[in-house]
Amino acid sequence: MTVRAIRGAITLEVDERSHLHERTKELVDAVMRENALTTDDVISAIFTVTPDLVSDFPAAAARDMGFGAVPLMCAQEIPVPGALPRVVRVMMHADMDVPRDEVVHVYLREAVALRRDLAQ
């Protein structure tokens, strides 16, 4: 197996815990589905949030999805003026038997603007 990194992002409408969990789960589900992964394939995941999201940790939502044994970390994005607001990003590391250019990166909702070249 080869370790691959998968990127993804999603936007939120509001900074509320339940909404953050809902959107984080939507993002993680899409990354897993589009790359045909199980939690056993995932080595680790790093979540970041824009500075305007403080209601909870995205990793808490992933743990609720069965990622309890996967090392998860959260961090805050750099507060760049004019950057897209209310964004949760993930970089997931997984064992995958695909070439790097076949990894499916997932950008959902308004986050498609972040990487139109990678958006699905």
Q: 116 an active-site residue?
A: no
Strand order in the sheet with 72-76: 72-76, 42-49, 87-96, 2-11, 106-108
Beta-sheet pairing, 106-108 with 72-76 = unpaired
Q: 16 an active-site residue?
A: no
Q: 77 an active-site residue?
A: yes
SS3 assignment, position 97: coil
Q: 109 an active-site residue?
A: no
Distance CA 119, CA 27 (A): 12
Catalytic residue among 22, 26, 34, 77: 77
Catalytic residue among 34, 74, 109, 110: 74
Catalytic residue among 22, 63, 109, 110: 63
Residue 95 and residue 103 in contact, taking contact as beta carbons nearer than 8 Å: no
Catalytic residue among 7, 26, 109, 110: 7
Q: 115 an active-site residue?
A: yes
Q: Which residues are catalytic?
A: 7, 63, 74, 77, 89, 107, 115
